[in-house]
Structures are given as C-alpha cells and as structure tokens.
Amino acid sequence: MSEGIHPIASLLAAVARGITGVQVQWAGCQPDVKQRIYFANHTSHLDFVVLWSALPAEIRALTRPVAAKDYWEETPLRRYLTEKVFKAVLVDRGAAARGKNHEETHFVGRHLMDDLADALGKKYSLILFPEGTRGDGKELGPFRAGIYHLAMRRPDVELVPAYLENLNRILPKGEIFMVPMLSLLTFGKPIQVEPGEEKDAFLERAREAVGSLRRIGPA
Amino acid sequence: MMLQAFHDTKLIWLFGGVLFLLVVSSTVGNILKSRRKSDSSRATIDNLNARIRAWWKMCLIFGFSLLVGRTGSLLLFGVISFLAMREYMTLVPTRRGDHRTLFWSFFVIMPLQYYLIGIQWYGLFAIMIPVMAFVFVPTSIALSGDTEHFLERAAKIQFGIMICAYCLSHAPALLLLKIPGFEGHDARLLLYLVIVDQMSDVLQYVWGKLIGRHKIAWRVSPNKTWEGFVGGVLTATALGAALWWATPFTPLQSAGLSFTICILGFCGGLVMSAIKRDIGIKDFGVVIEGHGGILDRIDSLCFAAPIFFHLVRYFFVP
C-alpha cells in the first residue's frame, strides 16, 4: 500500500468538515499515532469521512476505514473511493454467519480476522462501525462480534469509542442531498477486553461506551 | 461601486465613531481586568472582555463589507442568514421526512431571497417567502409521506425561514430604497440600523448589570430587567437621534425611528429567548460550542429590520 493521503481524500474531508461544521471533542483520550481501532455509531455515509477528517494529518495518513464489501464494490465509483482514495479494508459482512456449519463459520470468521489483523499491521489504525449498517440515529443497533475477535487477536491495539451526532440529519440513509446542519463528534476513553470477559458482555460494554458519549440526546 | 464608501465622509464618521467606541470599551475592559478582586466579578469581566473582542471582529467584517459596496453587504447578510438558519434548524427537531424541504430552504429559498435584492425586484422579494415558500413548505413535507407532527414541522420550518432569511434580509434591502436627496448614501442607513439596534442590546445589558432589579419576564429571560430595558431603550434612542446627520431624517424623526428599532429589538430578543426555553437551551451557541450563537446576536435585528425597512419605505420613498 502506498504511503500518504490521496488528494481526493483530503478534499472530501475538507468538504465534509465544512458542510457538517463538526465540533470535535476528545473527552476520553488525546489524538495519538499509536495503533488504535476507532469504533463509532453509524447513521450516514458521512460518518467515516467526518471521523477521519477529525484526526490530525499524521494520524490520518495511518488510519484506514473498514467497509462492507457487498456495498462498496457495487459500482466503479464506490470501488474507486474505497480502494484508491481511502484505502479501505473491505470485509464480507455476515459471511461468517452464513456458514453452513460451525466449522465453516469458524473458518470464514478466522479468515476475516486475518484480513483485519493484516490491515492493522505494525503501524496502521482502523475505523470500524460495529453496528455493521447505518441506523436511523435514534438508537444504537447491536454490535457485531468482529470487534471482539479483533481485540482478542490484537490486545496491544487501543479501542477508542466515538459518537457522531446529527450526521443522519445531514445525509440520511437513502438520500443524496445534504442539509448543512451542525454536528458533534466525541471521542471517549479507550476500552479493552477484560480478562475472562465473555464476548456478549464485552460487545454490550463497547456499545454502552459509544452510547454514553451522546451529547444532545435524541431529536 | 467598489470603494465608493471612501468618498462618503459621513459614513466614515459614523464608522469611525463605532471604532472609537470600541477603543474606549477595550480600554475600560482592560482597566477593569487589572482591578478585579473577587472571583464572581472576574467571571463577569472576562465575559465582558470576550464580548468586546467579538465586537471588534464583527465590526471589522461589517466595515469591510460596506467598503465593498452593495454586493459585499448582500453577501455578508446572506452568510449570516445561512449560519443563523443552520443553528436554528440544528436545534429545532426535524424528521427524516423534512429532509428535502430543508435542502430547498437552505439552497434555493434563502439564496433566492438575497438574489432578488441583488436584482432589485422588490415585488417578488416582499412575497416570495411569506406567500410562495408558505405554500411550498407544507406541500413538500406532505409529499414526503410522513404526517407525524405535520403541522408542527411545517410551522417550525416556515418560522425558521421567516426569521433567518426573510426578516434579516430586510437589513441589506435598505440599499434598495431610493430616498430623494439620499442617493448613493444607502450604506449609511444600513449602518445606522445596525448601530442603533446593537447599541440598544448592549446598553440594555449594561444598564441591567448596573441598576437592574425588577425582572420583566423571569421565566423567559432572567437577565431582562425593567431598569435595563428603560435605560437601554432611552439611551439608544438618544444615540440614534444624535446620529440624524448621517440619515435622511430630522432629529425628531430619527428619535422616533430609533425608539421603534429599540422596542422591536427587545421584542425579537424576548421571542428568541422563549424559543430557546421551549427547545431547552440557554444560548443557540452553547450546545454547539465554538459556533457562537449567531442567532443570539441577530435576534433583535430580525424583528427591527423589516419594520424599519417598511417605515422608511412608506414615509420617505415617494
């Protein structure tokens, strides 16, 4: 993978910041180049770009999004954006769940974790939306298990929760026109899988870590 | 048009007066800062100095736009309208079904309102939002198919467009008025309106801080007192009357118009406070820090501008 930030990525980030007027608050940690997985709520196509644009440039160059393969490989434009511009890690969402039996599920899931662990490498950070799909902004959906497995695989990487507010009102799912409302982004305190913690307990805790960062409340 | 303002001596005097006032306030602010004793007075004085700094910025931007001429003023007020509407629509609950309507409000209705001033089409400027947008907004929401809280949503969006785009646009629309014997000096009229309106706000704040005791509408706005109101309105009216030389008015007419601006400014502030209480916030700028409450600053102007415009148009434009 080539180093540096694609000029179109910088342009899109600047436009996204202008339209969303995003106010960034590092409530639970400070920006850092150390390896991290930023995980946030997902309500809009703007989520990734806004979160990414909020990071200082040197961190941005080392931070890649995790995106759904089925959606982002559908059209040439989407492919170009994910592959060339943002250097996204594409994952086949739900592939593990589609496995015919336990072994196949296990195999597919393991393969997926290999991809993500490779993408992290020795210096990269990832941006991940554990709900797996865009919600309506009212309530957080259940978190998928990927973040747990990845955290188990790479305990050295910090898990930073983040909450993006109002982006669903700026560019909701299924809409192409943007309305320039103001938005908020809050980074919380890093979490980790506690010794002996079960998968479901961790996922629920991770979900609460994101939800607790909400500042305005449901509209 | 460009830099015509430089040749208008009275405009320079008017603006010079504003800068002089700012220099005096900054000096007083610094003296107070060096003398402050208790922690509570420190907070008030820091707040005062922050306000003065904000005033410097606002005045320099406004002054620059007046220098550029009519297009500059239109652009400046267009941007203010945009930012104000952004604050308003962010904080007023809207639903998914309002999305397209909001898009039209931001990117078609509001720019069109300013464009109509630019091409000096008074007839359409006056009716576009209260008549056409009024029909368009509920229709467009109805077309979204979401009827939940329909009336509320239509009303809130229409109100926002009226306040942030329609009402405010009457300030730069003063540049349209052709007052006999006052041609080419219309920038002064705009500056006059803004000075009296904003000084009324400032003086009501100052009088209220100095001698304010009796609350006017405690639930709506705890900082508004009768003493502040009377003191502020009277001194700002006197100031407006004293600026008659820069306007097409006699001193007495100028006093009457200034008094009207002050009263309406007060009404605007009161109404916007009531809206803020309704939404459950203190300042439009507080929830979204750093985007410092443009709407809080211009609430008085939104009510004063359209009435001032029509009074001047009725009595002074043949």
* DSSP state letters, A80-126: HIIIIIS--EEE-TTTTTT-SSHHHHHHHHHHHHHHHHHHHTTT-EE
CB A34 within 8 A of CB A158: yes
pLDDT at B82 over 90: yes
Beta strands (DSSP E) in chain A are 23-26, 36-40, 63-68, 89-91, 125-128, 158-165, 184-187
Reported pTM: 0.88
Residue at which a domain ends, from B134, B169, B204:
B169
State whether B52 and B128 are in the same domain: no
B73 is a domain residue = no
State whether B142 and B273 are in the same domain: no
Cβ within 8 Å of residue A213, ≥6 positions away: A27, A161, A162, A163, A186, A187, A188
| Domain map (residue ranges) of chain A | 7-211
Among A72-76, A104-108, B233-237, the range of highest mean pLDDT: B233-237
As a whole number, mean pLDDT of residues A44-69 equals: 93
State whether B105 and B191 are in the same domain: no
For residue A34, the tally of other CB atoms under 10 A from its CB is: 12
B132 is a domain residue = yes
State whether B40 and B130 are in the same domain: no
pLDDT band at residue B312 under the 50/70/90 scheme: very high
B317 is a domain residue = yes
State residue A219's pLDDT score. Answer: 43
State whether B242 and B146 are in the same domain: no
State whether B90 and B143 are in the same domain: yes
Cβ–Cβ gap A23/B289 under 8 Å: yes
Cβ within 8 Å of residue B228, ≥6 positions away: B204, B205, B206, B207, B208, B209, B211, B212
- Of A208-212, B164-168, B284-288, the least confident: B284-288
- CA B270/CA B308 separation, integer angstroms: 18
State whether B269 and B316 are in the same domain: yes
Which of B90, B281, B294 to mutate: most A Cβ within 10 Å? B90
State whether B192 and B304 are in the same domain: yes
- CA B111/CA B224 separation, integer angstroms: 34
Residue at which a domain ends, from B169, B192, B213:
B169
Which of A134, A181, A214 to mutate: most B Cβ within 10 Å? A181
What is the rounded average pLDDT for all residues in chain A? Answer: 89
Domain count of the fold of chain B: 3
B78 is a domain residue = no
Q: A21 to chain B: nearest residue by CA?
A: B291
Q: At what angle do helices A102-120 and A146-153 cross, to 10 degrees?
A: 60
- CA A14/CA A54 separation, integer angstroms: 10
Write the CATH number of the domain with boundaries A7-211. 3.40.1130.10
Query: Chain B, 67-126: which have a CB under 8 Å from a chain A CB?
Result: 82, 86-87, 89-90, 93-94, 96, 99-100, 102-103, 106
State whether B97 and B61 are in the same domain: no
For residue B250, the tally of other CB atoms under 10 A from its CB is: 11
B175 is a domain residue = no
Cβ within 8 Å of residue B51, ≥6 positions away: none
Helix (H) or strand (E) holding B260: helix B251-279
- In this structure, what DSSP letter does residue B215 have? B
Instruction: Supply the range of the domain harboring residue B126.
Output: 83-169
State residue B184's pLDDT score. Answer: 83
Q: Which residues of A touch B89 (CB under 8 A)?
A: 179, 181
Residue at which a domain ends, from B106, B140, B169:
B169
